[in-house]
Amino acid sequence: MRRLRLSSRELATAAALAALMAATRYKHGGAGLGLPDATLAVFFLGGLALGAAWLFVAFLAEAALIDWLAIAVGGTSDWCVTAAYVFLIPTYGCLWAAGAWCARRARGEPRDWARLVGALAASTALAFFISNASFYAFSGYFDGLAPKEYALRVAKYFPPYAAGAAFYVALALAVAALIERLSHSPTRPAAR
């Protein structure tokens, strides 16, 4: 059975990822920074750095709560909340699983980076497919539209979708490397 307790480092990572999702998932009517949504990266990084299934569920709950608040309080349209909404579970699940897969195979070797980039690219593409195909099939909005036409219409959204995830993963890994380096730097004695 997976442990439920988190180390202080894991707790800090989970809190930082939750804050990142909260800050970017909902555009706060002009009060937000206008940054791209980091949700995809949060799930990939969660699988990579945390892995525990209960945290995956916690991040799903956070995403749903943010969406509910955006609609109920923030006045955001509920157009995307259809029968397809449940398919966000496998959408985010493939990202979490890809991150966890990378974590299990990390050996501190240069090829780890290639594996990570490949897993992020593949899981982001699969996430895009799952979310868009399910929306096409189950939203009820596209009854008269051929699948090929729908695919052509949504394809233009893939580059920013993938770029946003890649940006946040790269940024998080750079910050983690900097923190690691600073925590292992020799300390100087205090001046007298």
Q: Where are the domains of the chain?
A: 8-26+33-176
Q: pLDDT tier at 184 (50, 70, 90 boundaries)? A: confident
Its pTM stands at 0.90
Please give the pLDDT value at position 107.
Answer: 86
Q: Is the pLDDT of residue 116 over 60?
A: yes
How many whole angstroms separate alpha carbon 125 and alpha carbon 97? 14
Between 180 and 159, where is the model more confident?
159
How many whole angstroms separate alpha carbon 70 and alpha carbon 65? 8
Q: pLDDT tier at 2 (50, 70, 90 boundaries)? A: low
Please give the pLDDT value at position 34.
Answer: 73
Give the pair of three-digit tokens for residue 12.
């800090």
- The whole-number average pLDDT for the span 180-191 is 70
